[in-house]
Every structure is written in structure tokens, then in C-alpha cells.
Amino acid sequence: MGISRMKTAGVTVAAAVATFLATDGTSAAPPQITKPLPVPTGTTPLVPIRPPVPAAPPRLRGWVDMHTHPMVHLGFGGKLIHGAPDVGSLIPADSRCQHRVRATSMEHALGNDNSTHGGWGAFDNTCGDDIRKAVIDELQKSKEAVVTPDKARGAPDFVHYPKWNDITHQKMWIDWIRRSFDGGLRVMVALATHNQTLAAAVSGPGDGPTDDKSSADLQIDEIKALVGRHRDFMEVAETPAELRRIVAGNKLAIVLGVEIDNIGNFNRVPSLTAPIISAELRRLHAKGVRYIFPIHVIDNKFGGTAVYEDAFNMSNYREFGSFYSLKCASATDKITFRSKNDGFDFAVAAVKATKLGIDIARNPPTPPTCAGNIGHMNTRTLTAEGEIAVKEMMKLGMLIDIDHMSQLSANRTIELAERVSGGGYPIASGHNGPRGEGGSENSRTDDQIRRIAALKGMLGVGCEGADAHQFARTYDKVARLSGGRAGIGTDLNGLVKGPPPRPGSRVVYDASFPKSRTGSKEWDYNVEGVAHYGLLSDYVRDIRSAPGGNTLVDGTFMNAAEVFADMWERAEAQKGAVR
């Protein structure tokens, strides 16, 4: 909070308090005393007491990651991402095919991935699955990620994973989170995530859960347990005041959130009513969830999803009941992404028949033909149920993220936020980038960025596949458009690649900044990029080498913790104004 928030109609708080105490509290002028009153003999005159003006809380320093998935190995049925984040974490199945056991060592948590990614073996991998193996291999190929070998090895030598372009192995081991904390990270949004179609495609007997609600609940509970095991440097923040206390006390504030396709499994509810919506949101709030995505990668009862990756169209059909409803964007939208029917279709047709229950011949309709360089967008906007949900989230003071919404849904959500009396309600866009001259509807327009900033919201700039200098240029643009209301949204562990090594990078390692070392493996960012979460500290050092990089990092980037606290305080202050 700055000084400008301590003024009312141009009158400082100090002046207002002095005026109030000089009167009886009414607007009438105080009596004028022309000479001092006599003081009785033998008494000491009283000194008028003026209570001090409350000092503004100190501005927080530190960078913010608005989008992470530390417990993603429990999502997607527990068989898509391999590796747990610490000793004590729940493991879906270990190397001996023991289901739902706790990690007893780093090697146990981050070892051979055969039980998760390998095919069936009568003697060495009874929890393996040949279809799952094919699905994961094809997923890696379709996203242009590294295709890890069979029985990929992690700890202790980390020969095969993690790597910057690996999307199916754990990147948030607790020591790596701590390294980023040591590098200035002070607020981290930790999200549960899930997709039921992927879960059905890769899971088998003894795996799970496979529905959105149960998976999200499990991940949230396990994130809280993780934080509880490492209270020496992290705590869960459930209010902005707690966040300020945690960061000011030199700890990492963890904000819990959900990024799932169907909150409350509402796709299974035939008649969705306001009381049902409210009850589920209040249940999530009671679990500590404060950051929320109304819509994820498929259409749901709340509205339309952003069309940007064809792989999700089959899931849209399976979970929502229809394929994408597409139309050509207008030239002013600057949407150039075009949907195609040759996207990743869960590897092989056999998956449809054996695990997904979808007719093998069932395929999406042909997308419309658009003129010039104009791309596709979703025709679906926020539904009546979606508007109810967004308003209920606001009434709870939740931080609402519009990423993954169709352009129509996102714009409508911003409109609802702008209509809240008293200056509107803050909105977040936590792992995205500016659309510029072309992109999908999942990127932010300049107008959306400015409107989010005007609402005192915040933007997290994505870094997938962006080297440090590329990120610096994008971040600088968003920071300028938003008036400095920007953090980073890494989405690590979210089926995305990390930042690659930058050609010519010269991050220097010495006694004050040693290389990251885990087990017998030592990582050199200059060679390996952001292979794991801890190497974000090295990434930030490389950002400093970009033109204007020191100013960018020391200014907007390290001011993000204050901006996040300010956004959350605004949400709390405005929740009572929602109608």
C-alpha cells in the first residue's frame, strides 16, 4: 500500500484525525480558544495526546510465480507425470509397483520411471501399461518435447530427467524450490490440475483418482502437507495479511489454487443451480483454495474454452458432449491460430475404443475456412451459470484467473469485474503473454492487459520455450502496458517445456552462487537451461544480462510480491460490493 491510499478527497489521514480529535467528531467547527486556560496550583499541565498515524506496511520485495503444479504427479490418474517433490510425498506407484506409498528417500521419489511410463512386464512391471506408454511417447512428440527413454533414470545421477524440454517428469523437488526461494522467489501459486480424458487414457487398476474433484482435493491436501514438512522456509497464506507476514518474515508464501476442467464435477450435474455452485465454491474456500480458474482446457458449464491446442478437442467431446464450436475471428482480434483435425488424438485409435469409450470413427467437424491470415475462435461465451460462479468467487474474495477462457468468456468476466461498484474487482491472467500481431485467443490483447491493470489485477508472463532475453523483451512489454503489475507464470510441471539455454549466456558460478547440485548431478544453466525449478534463479541472473535487464529485475520483477499482495487486498476490500 502506498501513500496515495492513505488520502481521502485530498485530505491526509493525519489531518483528518487531527480535525476529528479537535472537535466532538461532528462537522461543526471547534470552539476558538484565544488564551490558555489557567492551570490549578500544584498540578502538571497535560500534554494533548495525539495517537500516531498508522504506518503503511513495508513494501514487499521478491518475485512471484503465479502458476506452478508441485503435486502434478497425483493428477491425471497418477500415471502421466513421474516423480514426487519430497520425502514424505505420496507416490501413486513405486518401482516395485507398490501403490499409494510415501517416498522414503530422494531415490524413491525420483527414481526409475518404469512404473509410471513403462509397458507391462510379467516379472518387472506388473503395473505397466503398453497403451499408456504409447500415449505418453506420442504426447511428448506432439508437443516437441524430449522423448525420454524406457526406464528413464532420475536420482541420484539424473541421467535422463529432468531436462528443460522434458514435460513428463517432476521438476519441483523441494531443494529446487528452495534454490528459487534463495534467488528471490517470495510468492508461489500452487495449483491442482487435471484432465479426465488424459487420466482415463493413462491410468489403470489401482490408479486414480480420475475425476476432477477428487484429484484436485488430493493434490490440495498433499500440497498443504508438503508445506507443513518444510515450515522452515514456507507457509500457506490464506489471507493477504498472512501473505504480508510470511514474506516480511523472509519466508515463501504459498497460495493454493485449482486449475481443473470441471469444478465440483459439474459436467456430471444435469441441472446446475446457484446453491450447488455456491456450496462447492465455499467448500473449496474452506479447504484453503484462494486462486481459481473458472474454465480450463475444455468447454464446461461455466463457458467456452480458448481454442489454442487441437489435442483437447477430443476431450471436449468426451467430457462436455460436443466438439469445439468454431468461427472465424475478426481482423481486429489479431487471432491467427487455425484449428486442424490432425492434432494429437491420444496416440492411437485403440485408446478411444479400449479406455475412452469413444467411437473410433468419431472425429471433429471440419473447421470453417477463414480469409487471409485470420484464425479461429470459440463461439461460446460465459454462461448464466458461469456468471453466477464468477460472482460467487468474487463474494468469497477469491483471485480469479481468466487464462484458458475463450475470448468471449474472458471479456465477459472482465466486464463483470468492472461493474463492481467502487472501482471494480481485480482479475488475474497468470501464465500468458501479449497477443501482439498474432496468436490464439488464449493470449492477452493489449486492451485486456490495460483493463486488468486498471482493476488492480496482475499478469504472470509465461516463459515456456523462451530464453532469458526473449522473456525480458516480453516481460518489459507487459510491464509497460500494465503499469508494472506483472510477475512470472512458469507453469512448470504443467505439461510445458521450461526456458532453454540461451546461446551466449554467461551466468557466472562462484562461492556466493554455486551450481545447482542434487545427488551426484551438477547442473550448468548455460548448457542445460531451466531443467528444474531451482534453475529459475540462474534464469533471473541471465535476464539481468539483457538490455535494461538489471533495471527490469530490480524494479518491476522484484516488486511483484507487493503487487500480488495489493491485488489480493483489493479483492478482499471489494468482495462486499459484489451484487
In the chain, domain spans: 1-33, 63-80+158-302+381-569, 310-379
Sole residue written with cell 514424505: 88
- Region 206-216: mean pLDDT is 96
pLDDT for 43 equals: 52
Per-residue pLDDT, 369: 97
Amino acid 31: pLDDT: 39
SS3 36: coil
Q: Given the C-alpha cell 490483447, which residue does it identify?
A: 445
Name residues whose C-beta falls within 8 Å of residue 78's C-beta, 6 or more positions apart in sequence.
92, 93, 116, 203, 207, 208
pLDDT single digits (tens) 38-59 = 544 555 555 667 777 777 778 9
Question: Which pLDDT value is given to residue 7?
Answer: 32
High-pLDDT (> 70) share of the chain, %: 90
The cell for 123 is 516379472
Is the pLDDT at 298 greater than 90? The verdict is yes
What average pLDDT does range 497-517 have in this prediction? 97
Residue 520 confidence (pLDDT) = 98
Positive/negative CA dihedral, 343, 346, 350, 356: negative
Amino acid identity for residue 471 in this structure: F
Q: What is the model's pLDDT at position 57?
A: 72
Q: What is the pLDDT of residues 433-448, one digit of tens each?
A: 999 999 999 999 999 9
Kindly report the average pLDDT of the chain as a whole number. 91
Identify the pLDDT of residue 34: 43
Give tens-digit pLDDT for 265-285: 999 999 999 999 999 999 999
pLDDT 10s digits, 223-250: 999 999 999 999 999 999 999 999 999 9
As a whole number, mean pLDDT of residues 398-414 equals 98
Asked if residue 93 lies in contact with residue 102, where contact means CB atoms within 8 angstroms, the answer is: no
What average pLDDT does this structure show over 552-573?
98
Dihedrals phi, psi of 333, to nearest 5 degrees? -70, -25
Pairing of the two strands 291-292 and 399-401: parallel
- Whole-number pLDDT of residue 345: 52
Helix axes 468-482, 536-543, angle to 10 degrees: 70
- pLDDT of res. 349: 61
Task: Return the pLDDT at 107.
Answer: 98
Q: Residue 37's pLDDT is what? A: 42
CATH class given for the domain over 63-80+158-302+381-569 = alpha beta
CA distances to 60, 73, 299, 531, 562 from 173, in Å: 26, 12, 33, 12, 26
- Distance in Å from the first CA to the final CA of the chain: 26
- Global pTM reads 0.90
Q: Is the pLDDT of residue 341 over 90?
A: no
Please report the pLDDT score of residue 10 as a whole number.
35
In this prediction, residue 3 has a pLDDT band, given cuts at 50, 70 and 90, of: very low
Tell me what pLDDT residue 13 has.
29
**Does the pLDDT at position 324 exceed 70?**
yes
The SS3 call for residue 133 is helix
Q: What mean pLDDT do residues 311-320 have? A: 93
Closest listed residue to residue 441, CA positions, set 551, 335, 530:
335
**Is the pLDDT assigned to residue 346 strictly greater than 80?**
no
pLDDT at 548 over 50: yes
pLDDT at 355: 85
Assess whether pLDDT exceeds 70 at residue 161: yes
Asked if pLDDT for residue 550 goes beyond 50, the answer is: yes
Model confidence pLDDT, tens digit, residues 4-27: 333 333 333 233 323 322 333 333
